[in-house]
Amino acid sequence: SAVISQKPSRDICQRGTSLTIQCQVDSQVTMMFWYRQQPGQSLTLIATANQGSEATYESGFVIDKFPISRPNLTFSTLTVSNMSPEDSSIYLCSVEVERTPTALYQETQYFGPGTRLLVL
């Protein structure tokens, strides 16, 4: 398993500003992901954070809006840029400790407690 912390736990921001969310894991992990949950919606994958290279973004999400860093195997950041009220969501970091290429669909993801963001 893995223990994941996120900072900040919550924030209220003005539109047009940016917020960087940090995700720290207590051990080295293979995979790190960023999700968001907008009010009343499903948890949705934003991107996979790749160590030492550019993140892999899902359809509908772009690097200019959600730049991601992953400098090592235990830490990642997600920035929500030029925020608007539509960005108000819970943002979660998750990890897979290891990934077996032939059975990656069975890997358990461990989640952080989330960052609750309200944009005014």
Partner 1 sequence: ILNVEQSPQSLHVQEGDSTNFTCSFPSSNFYALHWYRWETAKSPEALFVMTLNGDEKKKGRISATLNTKEGYSYLYIKGSQPEDSATYLCACFMNYGGSQGNLIFGKGTKLSVKP
Q: Which residues bind partner 1 (CB under 8 A)?
A: 4, 40-45, 58-59, 92, 104-106, 108-114
Closer of 13 and 45 to partner 1 (Cβ): 45
> Smallest gap, in angstroms, from Cβ of residue 14 to partner 1?
25
Closer of 86 and 105 to partner 1 (Cβ): 105
> Smallest gap, in angstroms, from Cβ of residue 111 to partner 1?
4
Cα distances (Å, whole numbers) of residue 75 to 6, 53, 80, 95, 101: 10, 14, 17, 10, 23
State the DSSP code for 15. T
State the DSSP code for 2. -
Closer of 42 and 53 to partner 1 (Cβ): 42
> Smallest gap, in angstroms, from Cβ of residue 116 to partner 1?
9
